[in-house]
Amino acid sequence: MILRATGLLAIGAFIGAGCTESPPPSNATPQSETVSAQDAQAGPIPVSVATTGAATLPANETFINIAKAARASVVNISSSRKVKQEGQPFGSPFDDPFFRRFFGDEFEKRFKAPRERERQEQGLGSGVIVSTDGYIVTNNHVVEQADEIKVLLGDKRSFKGKVIGTDPKTDLAVIKIDATDLPTLKWADSAQLQVGELVLAVGNPFGLNQTVTMGIISAVGRANMGIVDYEDFIQTDAAINPGNSGGALVNLKGELIGINTAIFSRSGGYMGIGFAIPSNMVRNVMNSLVKHGKVVRGWLGVSIQELTPDLAKEFGVADAQGALVADVLDDSPAAKAKLQRGDVIIAFNGVPVKDPSHLRSMVAETSPDTTSTVTVLRDKDKKDFKVTITELPKDLAKASKEGPESSKGEHALAGITVEENKDRSGKSRHRGGVVVTDVEPDSAAERAGVRPGDVILEINRKTVRTVADFDKLTGQLSAKTPVLLLINRGNATIFLSIAP
């Protein structure tokens, strides 16, 4: 179970990005400067820090110095909100059948008045000071819907916090306190992190202020976990518990590498698996929230899917890394750059693409109106395309979907029943294709994931417009021929590889 690492009265399970400027490399020369809140609104927030000289100090002194600097920059955040509740605290006499028998429903309607009560909910979390004039980064779930926010510094000073902006898609938020000359941490380049690096986690678990724990980076690039929309987590075994949410994860140079946000737990407490949002993503989101009041994300305009080993073989990709383009949206940056369905995006601006989540995060962090290089494999040939990224539209166009002729014979599509893709008036839908109405249990198509309601658009890269097209193409299939389907499902277009 994935839990938010926040100290709410009841810990709940998690059910479940970017801006324009890249962070400086981790070996950049430290700087110190102070800016006004007005200056900070105009651009990236400057930070101040002094290096620890970690490489030249004995191990014990190194940890002490890092912990001292990090603790000074990590704050305790307590939030509160009023929740209204209706109803009698111990039940209503009108709910008693005996009472209703003697007094009737009319008496209830005239005299029953629900009692509305207010209950105060409290939350505890952490935050990291990222500018000398009082900007603080934390998790969205720490301050979400809060009526009042109090910030306690490491030197025991207390301030009232104001929310500058929130981004639920990454679970990040920026708040501001009215203070100056505050201690901060230097930003690390999280793209350079290595599994096995020693790290320290600093926060306020269970309300225990300024707690420091140690561990290593267990993994990087954790995604597809269903915690938030944009995921690229650092996994660590440094102890993280409820109340650590929004706290700092720092390296042995005393640099901020991530914001602690969630834990995997079956008990509600530490089990050796914690997750932090990487500093590059944090910094981009923070700068956008401060400058625009929202997160401005880049948009490429493609529907992408993961490469399975079977799909990788079909498209000539050796290592099954990259993102397969299942569809290109009309009038999108990708369409204008001539990207095509079936392209495999293997690099974005020279950075190898690991999977669809990785590509999605890189595109989102690209500033609109930026010209980027998209490297694809098309028909097993490597090609570069220049694409001008635009801002992610508020409302993306949604593809339509509705949901007998049966394919016969011993081949990969045997057992699929289809019909014409028409609307209620009998007109063919603009995307064409045929609608799957039934899939035979335990058939190759069912095992590959074909479902009733799917719209088959292509078979082995050949267009299917009608049932006649479907019959003609399936009639050419042999018993041992694998089939590559392009289908429309809901708002997505995806490829499926089916082995007989």
Is 243 a known ligand-binding residue?
yes
**Any catalytic annotation for residue 141?**
yes
Residue showing tokens 């930070």: 47
Exposed / middle / buried, residue 260 (Cβ in 10 Å: 0-12, 13-18, 19+): buried
Q: Which residues contact 425 (CB under 8 A, 6 or more apart)?
A: none
Six token digits for residue 293: 């009041």
Of residues 431, 432, 434, the one with CA closest to residue 407: 434
Q: Give the tokens for residue 344.
A: 């495999």
Q: Is 171 annotated as a binding residue?
A: yes
Q: Was 218 annotated as part of a binding site?
A: no
**Pairing assessment for the beta strands 186-187 and 255-264 based on DSSP bridges:** parallel
411 is catalytic: no
Give the dihedral sign, CA 484/488/489/493: positive
Residue 29, C-beta contacts closer than 8 angstroms, at least 6 positions apart: none
d(CA 486, CA 500): 17
Do 19 and 365 meet the contact criterion of CB atoms below 8 Å apart?
yes
Q: Which of 26, 79, 126, 141 is catalytic?
A: 141
Query: Per the residue annotation, which of 171, 343, 355, 454 is the catalytic one?
Result: 171
Residue 244, marked binder: yes
Residues whose CB is less than 8 angstroms from the CB of residue 224 and which lie 6 or more positions away in sequence, other chains included:
231, 355, 357
By C-alpha distance, which of 237, 185, 246 is closest to 214? Answer: 237
**Per the annotation, does 95 bind a ligand?**
no
Q: Which of 78, 131, 218, 245 is labelled catalytic?
A: 245
In angstroms, rounded to a whole number, what is the distance separating the alpha carbons of residues 46 and 33? 7
Write out the catalytic residue numbers.
141, 171, 245
**Residue ranges at the known binding site for substrate:** 141, 171, 243-245
